[in-house]
C-alpha cells in the first residue's frame, strides 16, 4: 500500500491532466445537439479504460445515450464491486456567469473548475486514478471490479433499467459503489445512506388562440400567465406544506433515533443562510433544515415562461404560459402515484378560462441503504485513512434513481462514497471539485478496495 499511496502523491499533475481532457467534452445529455459529444465521451472512456488495463471494455448502445462497461475479474474468491458513475453532465448555461470556460478544466484556489468537475466526471476519475495506481504498481487489483458508466443520469436514467434487467449475470456483484454525492463539509467526511426520489412535471396553459394587444383585449379574458401564477401559489399552504391531496400519504415517518442523529451533526442555520445570501430560511413547519432537506418531500417550480421577456417593453396579452415543476420524494412515496395526484390536482384547480396540459417528464424512486450493509465498515475505515477523520452518517436531498433498481433487480445494496462538497455549484455556473477532496478521494478508494476483502466475504 505504501508504494501505491506514494505513487498517488507523486502523480497529482498527471491525474489532473487526464481529468482535464475528459472535462473538455461537452457531454450534455439533455441537448440533442450534444449527442455526438456524448458519444465521443463514451469512446474516450473506452479508450482510457483499455489503456488502464480493464478487460471486456465495451459500449452498449441504447435508444438514448450509450452505456460504457468494463471489468477486471482476476482475483476469484475476492469480493466483486459494481462501480457506477455517470459521464453525462447538465447544460452549462447561463454561460456568461462562468469565470472560466465550462468545458476547459481550470485550477483556481485549490479547486478544479468545469462542468462535470464534481458531478460526476471528477468523481468517476477518483476511481479510475485509484485503479491506475494499483495497475501501475502491482499490476493487479485487490478486488474484482465491474464498471458501468452511464450517459443519461441527468435525464432520469431511462435506458439503464432495461439494460440491468437484460444483463443481470454480467452485472452480478457483492455491492454497488457510487461516488456521486457530497461529503457533509470540507474536512468532515461522511457516508450517505439516503437519497430522495424525484417526479418531474410540466404544465402548459393556453388561453386565447394567439397573442393579443393588451390594450385592445386586456380586461376581457384571463391572461394565462396570471392563471399559471395562481395555480402555482395554490401548491403550498402557509406552513410550507404541499397541498396536493394524498401527497404525504406514503411518507415514512422519521424515526426518533434518526432525528436525534441529525441533531448531533455540526450544522448552523445561520451560517447556511449567510452562505446562500438569504435573510432567513424557509420550508415546511415542524422540521429542522436537515430534516427538510433529507427526509421530507418538497415541490419546487424549476422554471416558468410565457409572454415577453426581451429587453424593453411590449404590451402583449400572451396566448401561452408554462412551468416546470419537480417534486423531491422520500421513502415510501412512489413517483408514478405522485405524478397522477399532481395531474389530478392541477386539473382540479385550473380555471375554465385556460386549457391545461400536464406532462410527466421523468421520475425516480427514493433510496435508503442500511448502514450495516456489506462493505459499509470498509468504507468507514477507508474514509478515516483517506481523510484522517472518522466519517459521519448523512442523507442527501438529491436523487440517483438507479440505486433502487440495483437493489430490486440485482438484490444488492449501494454504498454512496461521495467526495463532492455541498457548495461546489453542481448544476450551476462555476462547478468545481476541491483538489484536496479529489486527491484524498483517490487515497480513500485505494484503501476501500484494499480493505473490502477483510470485511466482506464473497457471496456470489
Ligand atoms: N450527483 C447528483 C445527485 C446528488 C445531488 C447527490 C445532490 C447529492 C446531492 C446527480 O447527478 C443528480 O443531479 N441527479 C439528478 C437526478 C434527476 C435528474 C433524476 C437530481 O438529483 O436532480
Ligand atoms: Zn451526478
282: which 3 cell numbers? 424557509
Q: Could you tell me if 234 and 178 lie in one domain? A: no
Tell me if 283 is assigned to some domain: no
Bridge partners (DSSP) of residue 349 are: none
Query: What percent of the chain lies above the pLDDT cut of 90?
Result: 97
Q: Could you tell me if 399 and 413 lie in one domain? A: yes
What's the mean per-residue pLDDT of the chain? Answer: 97
Q: 191: closest CA among 48, 365, 18, 380?
A: 380
**Residues 6+ positions from 364 with CB-CB distance below 8 Å:** 156, 157, 197, 198, 335, 399, 400, 401, 402, 404
Residue closest by Cα to atom 5 of ligand 1 = 398
Residue closest by Cα to atom 20 of ligand 1 = 399
Tell me if 339 is assigned to some domain: yes
Residue 156 in contact with ligand 1 by CB distance below 6 A: yes
Tell me if 170 is assigned to some domain: yes
Q: Could you tell me if 436 and 426 lie in one domain? A: yes
Is the pTM higher than 0.85? Answer: yes
Q: Could you tell me if 385 and 247 lie in one domain? A: no
Tell me if 158 is assigned to some domain: yes
The pLDDT of residue 266: 94
Q: Of 361, 380, 414, which closes a domain?
A: 361
Residue closest by Cα to atom 16 of ligand 1 = 399
Q: Tell how far the Cα of 119 is from the centroid of ligand 1, in angstroms.
A: 8
**Atom number of ligand 1 nearest to Cα 198:** 19
Q: Could you tell me if 106 and 38 lie in one domain? A: yes
Concatenated DSSP letters of 156-173: T-TTHHHHHHHTHHHH--
Q: Tell how far the Cα of 223 is from the centroid of ligand 2, in angstroms.
A: 38
Assess contact for 180 and 418: CB atoms under 8 A: yes
Cα–Cα distance list, 216 to 225, 315, 401 (Å): 18, 10, 49
Q: Tell how far the Cα of 431 is from the centroid of ligand 1, in angstroms.
A: 14
Tell me if 278 is assigned to some domain: no
Ligand 1 pocket test: which of 183, 197, 398 has the largest number of ligand atoms within 8 Å of its C-beta? 398
pLDDT at residue 403 greater than cutoff 90: yes
CA atoms within 13 A on the CB side of 277: 1
Instruction: Kindly state the average pLDDT of the residues 304-331.
Output: 98
Q: Could you tell me if 167 and 203 lie in one domain? A: no
Q: Of 338, 361, 384, which closes a domain?
A: 361
Catalytic (active site) residue 153: yes
pLDDT at residue 459 greater than cutoff 70: no
Tell me if 333 is assigned to some domain: yes
The pLDDT of residue 292: 98
Indicate the pLDDT class of residue 345, thresholds 50, 70 and 90. Answer: very high
Residue 365 in contact with ligand 1 by CB distance below 6 A: no
Give the Cα separation of 89 and 324 in Å (integer).
19
Which candidate in 119, 150, 152, 153 is catalytic?
153
Identify the CATH number of the domain in which residue 218 sits: 3.30.70.360
Concatenated DSSP letters of 400-426: -THHHHIIIII---EEE---B-TTS-T
Domain of residue 336: give its range. Answer: 197-251+297-361
Q: Could you tell me if 333 and 350 lie in one domain? A: yes
The pLDDT of residue 460: 64
Instruction: Kindly state the average pLDDT of the residues 120-143.
Output: 98
Which candidate in 71, 88, 396, 413 is catalytic?
88
Q: Could you tell me if 356 and 372 lie in one domain? A: no
| Tens of pLDDT, residues 193-239 | 999 999 999 999 999 999 999 999 999 999 999 999 999 999 999 99
Q: Could you tell me if 181 and 244 lie in one domain? A: no
Residue closest by Cα to atom 8 of ligand 1 = 181
**Atom number of ligand 1 nearest to Cα 200:** 19
Q: Could you tell me if 342 and 329 lie in one domain? A: yes
Residue 396 in contact with ligand 1 by CB distance below 6 A: yes
The pLDDT of residue 374: 84
Assess contact for 153 and 120: CB atoms under 8 A: yes
Q: Could you tell me if 343 and 306 lie in one domain? A: yes
Q: Could you tell me if 334 and 412 lie in one domain? A: no
Specify the number of domains making up the chain: 2
Q: Tell how far the Cα of 302 is from the centroid of ligand 1, in angstroms.
A: 14
The pLDDT of residue 456: 87
Residue 398 in contact with ligand 1 by CB distance below 6 A: yes
Give the Cα separation of 421 and 219 in Å (integer).
51
Instruction: Kindly state the average pLDDT of the residues 380-391.
Output: 97
Spatial strand order of the sheet with 197-206 comes to 298-306, 320-329, 197-206, 355-364
Q: Tell how far the Cα of 205 is from the centroid of ligand 1, in angstroms.
A: 28
| Tens of pLDDT, residues 410-422 | 999 999 999 999 9
Residue closest by Cα to atom 6 of ligand 1 = 181
Tell me if 57 is assigned to some domain: yes
pLDDT at residue 304 greater than cutoff 90: yes
Residue 399 in contact with ligand 1 by CB distance below 6 A: yes
Indicate the pLDDT class of residue 443, thresholds 50, 70 and 90. Answer: very high
Instruction: Kindly state the average pLDDT of the residues 96-118.
Output: 98
Q: Of 311, 342, 361, which closes a domain?
A: 361
The pLDDT of residue 373: 87
Q: Tell how far the Cα of 400 is from the centroid of ligand 1, in angstroms.
A: 6
The pLDDT of residue 457: 77
Tell me if 418 is assigned to some domain: yes
Give the Cα separation of 17 and 273 in Å (integer).
36
pLDDT at residue 458 greater than cutoff 80: no
The pLDDT of residue 156: 86
Identify the CATH number of the domain in which residue 129 sits: 3.40.630.10
Query: What percent of the chain lies above the pLDDT cut of 70?
Result: 99
Ligand nearest to the CA of 397: 1
32: which 3 cell numbers? 440533442
The pLDDT of residue 72: 98
Amino acid at each position: 500500500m505504501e508504494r501505491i499511496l506514494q505513487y498517488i502523491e507523486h502523480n497529482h499533475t498527471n491525474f489532473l491532466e487526464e481529468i482535464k481532457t475528459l472535462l473538455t467534452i461537452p457531454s450534455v445529455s439533455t441537448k440533442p445537439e450534444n449527442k455526438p459529444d456524448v458519444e465521443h465521451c463514451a469512446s474516450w472512456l473506452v479508450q482510457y479504460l483499455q489503456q488502464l488495463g480493464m478487460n471486456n471494455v465495451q459500449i452498449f448502445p441504447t435508444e438514448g445515450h450509450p452505456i460504457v462497461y468494463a471489468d477486471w475479474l482476476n482475483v476469484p474468491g475476492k469480493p466483486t464491486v459494481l462501480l457506477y458513475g455517470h459521464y453525462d453532465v447538465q447544460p452549462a448555461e447561463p454561460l456568461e456567469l462562468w469565470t472560466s470556460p465550462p468545458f476547459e478544466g481550470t485550477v483556481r484556489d485549490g479547486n478544479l473548475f468545469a462542468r462535470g468537475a464534481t458531478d460526476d466526471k471528477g468523481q468517476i476519475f477518483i476511481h479510475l486514478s485509484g485503479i491506475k495506481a494499483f495497475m501501475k504498481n502491482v499490476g493487479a487489483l485487490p478486488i474484482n471490479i465491474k464498471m458501468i458508466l452511464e450517459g443519461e443520469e441527468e435525464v432520469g436514467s431511462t435506458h439503464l433499467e432495461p439494460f440491468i434487467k437484460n444483463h443481470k449475470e454480467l452485472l452480478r456483484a457483492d455491492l454497488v459503489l457510487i461516488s456521486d454525492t457530497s461529503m457533509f463539509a470540507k474536512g468532515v467526511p461522511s457516508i450517505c445512506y439516503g437519497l430522495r426520489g424525484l417526479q418531474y412535471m410540466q404544465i402548459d396553459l393556453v388561453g386565447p388562440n394567439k397573442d393579443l394587444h393588451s390594450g385592445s383585449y386586456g380586461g376581457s379574458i384571463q391572461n394565462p400567465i396570471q392563471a399559471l401564477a395562481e395555480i402555482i401559489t395554490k401548491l403550498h399552504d402557509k406552513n410550507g406544506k404541499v397541498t396536493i391531496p394524498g401527497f404525504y400519504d406514503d411518507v415514512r415517518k422519521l424515526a426518533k433515533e434518526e432525528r436525534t442523529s441529525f441533531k448531533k451533526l455540526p450544522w448552523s442555520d445561520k451560517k447556511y443562510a449567510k452562505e446562500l445570501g438569504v435573510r432567513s430560511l424557509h420550508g415546511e413547519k415542524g422540521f429542522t433544515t436537515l430534516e427538510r432537506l433529507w427526509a421530507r418531500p418538497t415541490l419546487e417550480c424549476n422554471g416558468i415562461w410565457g409572454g415577453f421577456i426581451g429587453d424593453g417593453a411590449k404590451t402583449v396579452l400572451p396566448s401561452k404560459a408554462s412551468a416546470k415543476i419537480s417534486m423531491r420524494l422520500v421513502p415510501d412515496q412512489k413517483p408514478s402515484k405522485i405524478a397522477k395526484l399532481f395531474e389530478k390536482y392541477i386539473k382540479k384547480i385550473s380555471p375554465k378560462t385556460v386549457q391545461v396540459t400536464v406532462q410527466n417528464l421523468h421520475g425516480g424512486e427514493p433510496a435508503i441503504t442500511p448502514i450495516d450493509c456489506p462493505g459499509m465498515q470498509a468504507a468507514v475505515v477507508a474514509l478515516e485513512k483517506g481523510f484522517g477523520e472518522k466519517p459521519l452518517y448523512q442523507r442527501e436531498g438529491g436523487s440517483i434513481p438507479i440505486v433502487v433498481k440495483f437493489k430490486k433487480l440485482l438484490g444488492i445494496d449501494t454504498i454512496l462514497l461521495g467526495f463532492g462538497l455541498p457548495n461546489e455549484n453542481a448544476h450551476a455556473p462555476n462547478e468545481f471539485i476541491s483538489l484536496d477532496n479529489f486527491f484524498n478521494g483517490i487515497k480513500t478508494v485505494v484503501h476501500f478496495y484494499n480493505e473490502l476483502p477483510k470485511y466482506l466475504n464473497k457471496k456470489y
